[in-house]
Amino acid sequence: MQDLIKSGKNLFSLLHLLCLILFFCPSTLFSQENIVTDSLNALLKQSKNKTDILNSLAAECQYISPARSLMLSSEALETSKKEKNEKGEAYACYYIASNYLSLGQYDTCLKMLDRSETLFRKLNNIEGLLHISNARANLRYLQGNLDDAQQQFQDNLLNSEKNNLPRIRISALTNIGRINWLRGKTATALSYYNEALQKCDSVKTPYMQGMIHLLTGIVYQDLGYYELAASKILSSIQIFERMNYLTKLPYAYNYLGSVCYEMQDDDNAINYLRKASYGLKQIGDDWGLAISQRFMGRAFRRLKLQDSAEYFYRNSLKLARKLNDRSGEISSMRFLGEVFLDQGKGDSAYVLLNESLRKSMALKDMRERVNILYDLGILNDRQNNFIRSLSLLHNAGYLADSLDLFYENMLINKQLAETYEKSGDLKSSLKYYKLYKSLNDTVNSSEKRKNVDELQLRYETEKKNNEIGALRMQQRIQQVRLKNQRILGYSLGTVLILVIAFIIVLWYNYRQKKKANEEKEILLKEIHHRVKNNLQTISSLLSLQSFSIGDDKVKDAVRESQERVKSMALIHQMLYQQEKLSEIDFGQYLQKLVESISSGYHNPAARVSYHIDCDNARLDIDTAIPLGLIANELLINAYKYAFNGRNQGDIFISLVRNNTNKYLFRIKDNGIGLPGHISIDKAETLGLRLVSLLVRQIKGNIAFSTTGGTEFTITF
């Protein structure tokens, strides 16, 4: 009763504290993820059908926290089964797959996509099937299967138009643009991005808007339009910060750092890249981290810190191979080859660059092919193989021109000028140096740098204005909260009364439950007592019956059956004599069992001692009864046969746990031993057959040895 009163006081204190927290600072109890998740959380509390809302929350949280999204989609899956919501179950499987895809766990992702697709097909849900198809295409893209991915995205684009599904259409357009960008088709990529962005205006998809701005900025960076690139990337950062999209914000920092790198601003580049790396590590995004590590390696290489550059490139290569990212693997191999080139390790650089060239051709990655040809041109230049070097550099230049790769074109022209100068062709050297100078002047334009700084200032100013607006809103909320304090005070009194009533009800229910449990215990003890009495009656009847039997073999069989009944009766006797009815002290049981068998099968010609090692072994009744019968059979056999022709002997009994937390039950004697040809499973005697069946019942294994007597070992 004192414990109950103490628990009631603790509960009262807890609820009192909860009321005070709600009274003074209710906003501290809930995490403000973004306006979308806040609204969905509010709906979740009010709705009876929770599956669809949980799925919507999981979808939005993919961009905030993959771990939370995975938790919500898993909860949606469980809830859908309770609500018998097959469509909700299909979407839950899809969102689980999407989260595993972002975590790089592709096998688990595929299994969940298969499960989701089966449900969508059963429901004939076209939109769901297109979501699955988009996810499969994205997986192929991540694994470098660009042809298959592009074809599937094209099919999804047609089907989304046919079925009027704008969100899937936007996703397909964006992904087709990404693949074209990767293949160096920048104009085509921009056209797809622009079309996708126009569609976003009619559909509220802030995530896709942010991603399209970011991807467009990456294309402008490739074209050398750094002002436009920075503008687009800053727009994406603004959206991601406003919506708290923590999974995508580091990507934007990554590419803003890359733009700073291209503009020779190494300090800002490294600062943004470190910020990106920190965010990616926080959310466990290995894919983005691999990109960040490559960008960091580039910055440190230009600062002549080759050891640091090699460290970051090796990390990037390791992550790319872990993720089966073939494009990332090619880039990391090429960058690592460049570091080896700087370190004078020409042979190592040659192996890596040629391997990455072969893989880029197989993948049709034209941008990487340009860069690898450029690096091989430098390698041959340093080995004074000028003809081969010029051939490689011109091939790289033609390809860069066709792809409109601004920065790569500038570097190729610079290297062509240097190589022609070394080869003695000063006229050609001057020609390519002028081309390089023209492009380099464009990069270092002070006007461009000024415009980027203005864009950054404009963004920071807008961000501050938003923060001021949020602060004013908070002040208004505080004023409303102060007005409601009096109402909350009255509410607190009501809550206290309800708490007291709740404690009284709790105490009453506790007393009723305790009384019912006491009645159950008394009833169970009575049942065990009666079972024991009935078993003893059967044992007595068998004993009486044995007096009228003349055949010794039959009499022995009846006597053994009597011992089996007594072993079961002993368990029920121990159960009703102790407080805990669910299990017995098996060591104590064995002590009583051996005493009973020893007195019944005592051989005056042989002095037999027994030794029991079974401390603190407590077994439930379902295990104790079959194990007790097994012990009964093996002990009777030992007393009857083990010491024939001997004047003394020992029986050892133990029950212990092994390293795998399983029980080992051993009965060993130092008698004459069993014949070597005996098999437990095929034994002719009833006792050993019974032992074999009982071992299976407790899901155990039995083994025996006849060295120095007989030893039975049962593992269960």
Q: What is the domain partition of the chain in residue ranges?
A: 603-716
Residue 231 has pLDDT above 80, yes or no: yes
CA 133 – CA 277 distance, rounded (Å): 31
Q: What is the pTM of this model?
A: 0.50
CA pair distance 155, 176, nearest whole angstrom:
11
Q: Which of 309-313, 505-509, 617-621 has the lowest mean pLDDT?
A: 505-509
Res 25 pLDDT > 50: no
| Residue 556: both structure tokens together | 């022995």
**How much of the chain exceeds pLDDT 90, in percent?**
8
Kindly state the average pLDDT of the residues 513-521: 60
HSE, side-chain direction, 13 A CA sphere, residue 454 = 8
Mean pLDDT of 459-487: 53
Contacts of residue 533, defined as CB under 8 A and 6 or more positions apart, other chains included, come to none
Q: pLDDT, tens digit, for every residue of 626-663?
A: 888 888 888 888 887 778 777 788 888 888 887 778 88
The answer on pLDDT for 705 being more than 70 is yes
Task: Yes or no: say if 536 and 570 are a contact pair by the CB < 8 Å rule.
Answer: no
User: Which of 195 and 644 is assigned the larger pLDDT?
Assistant: 195
- Mean pLDDT value of segment 238-256: 86
Please give the helix or strand (H or E) that residue 584 lies within, else none. Answer: strand 583-585
Q: How far apart are CA 50 and CA 457, in angstroms?
A: 44
CB 635 within 8 A of CB 611: no
Contacts of 73 (CB under 8 A, 6+ apart): 54, 55, 58, 92, 95, 96, 99
pLDDT in tens, 288-307: 888 888 888 888 888 888 88
Residue 323 or 17, more confident: 323
What mean pLDDT do residues 589-602 have? 77
Residues 222, 405 contacting (CB under 8 angstroms): yes
Architecture of domain 603-716: 2-Layer Sandwich (3.30)
The pLDDT of residue 19 is: 38
